[in-house]
Amino acid sequence: MDASTCDALLDQRALSKLRWRCRRGLLENDLFIDSFFARHESGLTVRQAEALGVLMDLSDNDLLDLLLGRKPPQGELARDDVTHVLGMLRAARLPV
């Protein structure tokens, strides 16, 4: 995928699929994710959606550890795009 495609905004269909994929079993994770979408959904790019998908592949507990800063991103999660989206998720829970 070229850079212009990665930086393109998500269309409504892709956004809807992403929101469905981001549903979690732990309420705490859902609170972070709901706030993230409320703040960022209109400007999400394909690259950010892919990074969010990497985070959604984690177990609920591992994701919560990252969201709360209990563990740093390691391995595949240490990529710039993933850490950027993780920062967006964390910041979304702060008061506006």
- Per-residue pLDDT for 96 more than 90? no
- Domain residues of the chain, as ranges? 3-92
Quote the CATH superfamily of domain 3-92: Flavinator of succinate dehydrogenase (1.10.150.250)
DSSP string, 3-54: HHHHTSBPPHHHHHHHHHHT--SSHHHHHHHHHHHHHHGGG-BHHHHHHHHH
User: CB burial class (10 A; 0-12, 13-18, 19+) of residue 89?
Assistant: buried
Burial (CB count <10 Å: 0-12, 13-18, 19+), residue 95: exposed
The pTM for the full model equals 0.88
Percent of the chain, pLDDT > 70? 92
